[in-house]
């Protein structure tokens, strides 16, 4: 029999320690359907503990729960800008059904009203480019001009609010109904993702964040990209599905479904009513 390649023995101890903790968490999940807050990894909670109901992943059943330290949890509101959910913004100019993205505004506002009474962090992101477009790839601008039938990133549409997806313009800023308040964080990014084109990862690490409740637009583009990035860095990601929207309903539904596959390949899925309920139960 051909010998299998083996690595240095010093790898084995840490691997066995990690697998022991995984097995403990697995046994606990089988009994309780709960992803316990890993105190061995993060230490004891520094804030109130919240247990959030999530839609379970295929083969696990109907419902599961995730336990989180509210002081180490951030609520992400991704790209809720006029450009993506308001009249005369980028999505509107591109000719898409604005209601499909704007529908996220109500659930996000409802969740924020409760989140803002807690020790959870709130982080908003904005996609946009420098006024000289030096951080906007040529092909991105070209594609936008084609779908916009002659009006693309960096240009002002007829009767528009300003140059599309350009920092500082009125249409680039966050929609008034979910606008940041004092004490919240805003991260500006040049791409669909944020971990490579902004300071988001540095901010979350400096805040001690371990868990993310993710909302925003669009589900299949910026939201999904950031969730995938965060998942790779070890953040516990929970998508608030009614607080998201896409320019195509089928893409929106497929993006939500893909999160739940393979045991939750990118995290978990919940909705605003469950988020609000979990917070109120934790702080009562």
Mean pLDDT of the chain: 95
79 assigned to active site: yes
Segment 18-50, tens digit of pLDDT: 999 999 999 999 999 999 999 999 999 999 999
In a domain, 53, yes or no: no
The mean pLDDT of 127-139, rounded to a whole number, is 98
Collapsing DSSP to helix, strand or coil, 261 comes out as: helix
pLDDT at 104 over 90: yes
pTM: 0.95
What's the half-sphere exposure (Cβ side, CA atoms, 13 Å) at 130? 7
- Cα dihedral sign for 218, 219, 220, 223? positive
In a domain, 167, yes or no: no
In a domain, 126, yes or no: yes
In a domain, 253, yes or no: yes
pLDDT bin (cut points 50, 70, 90) of residue 5 is low
Catalytic residue among 222, 241, 271, 274: 222
pLDDT bin (cut points 50, 70, 90) of residue 3 is low
Segment 160-206, tens digit of pLDDT: 999 999 999 999 999 999 999 999 999 999 999 999 989 999 999 99
pLDDT at 61 over 80: no
pLDDT at 9 over 90: no
What residues contact 20, with CB distance under 8 A and at least 6 apart? none
Closest CA to 129 of 197, 202, 195: 197
Number of domains in the chain: 1
Segment 220-269, tens digit of pLDDT: 999 999 999 999 999 999 999 999 999 999 999 999 999 999 889 999 99
Catalytic residue among 69, 79, 83, 271: 79
Segment 62-82, tens digit of pLDDT: 799 999 999 999 999 999 999
188 assigned to active site: no
Q: What is the extent of the structural domain holding 277?
A: 70-89+97-134+174-283
Do residues 215 and 175 lie in contact, with contact meaning Cβ atoms separated by under 8 Å?
no
In a domain, 252, yes or no: yes
% of the chain surpassing 70 pLDDT? 98
260 assigned to active site: no
In a domain, 36, yes or no: no
- Residue 117 — φ and ψ, nearest 5°? -95, 5
CATH of the domain at 221: 3.40.50.850
DSSP string, 191-225: SS-STTTSSHHHHHHHTT--EEEEEEE-IIIIIHH
Catalytic residue among 189, 192, 260, 274: 189
In a domain, 148, yes or no: no
What pLDDT is recorded for position 59? Answer: 78
In a domain, 37, yes or no: no
């Amino acid at each position: 029999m051909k010998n299998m390649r083996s690595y240095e023995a010093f790898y084995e101890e840490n691997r066995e320690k990690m697998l022991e903790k995984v097995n403990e968490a697995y046994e606990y999940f089988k009994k309780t359907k709960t992803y316990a807050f890993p105190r061995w990894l993060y230490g004891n909670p520094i804030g109130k503990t919240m247990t959030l109901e999530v839609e379970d992943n295929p083969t696990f059943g109907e419902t599961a729960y995730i336990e989180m330290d509210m002081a180490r949890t951030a609520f992400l509101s991704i790209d809720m800008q006029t450009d993506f959910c308001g009249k005369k913004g980028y999505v509107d100019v591109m000719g898409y059904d604005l209601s499909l993205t704007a529908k996220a505004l109500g659930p996000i506002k409802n969740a924020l009203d409760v989140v803002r009474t807690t020790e959870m962090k709130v982080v908003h992101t904005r996609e946009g480019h420098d006024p000289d477009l030096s951080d906007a790839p040529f092909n991105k601008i070209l594609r936008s001009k084609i779908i916009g039938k002659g009006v693309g990133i960096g240009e002002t549409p007829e009767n528009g609010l300003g140059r599309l997806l350009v920092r500082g313009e009125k249409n680039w800023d966050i929609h008034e109904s979910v606008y940041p308040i004092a004490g919240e964080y805003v991260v500006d990014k040049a791409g669909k993702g944020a971990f490579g084109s902004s300071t988001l990862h540095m901010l979350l690490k400096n805040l001690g964040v371990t868990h993310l409740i993710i909302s925003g637009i669009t589900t299949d583009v910026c939201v999904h990209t950031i969730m995938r990035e965060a998942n790779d860095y070890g953040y516990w990601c929970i998508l608030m599905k009614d607080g998201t929207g896409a320019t195509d309903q089928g893409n929106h539904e497929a993006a939500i479904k893909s999160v739940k596959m393979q045991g939750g390949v990118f995290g978990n899925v919940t909705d605003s009513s469950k988020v609000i309920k979990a917070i109120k139960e934790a702080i009562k």
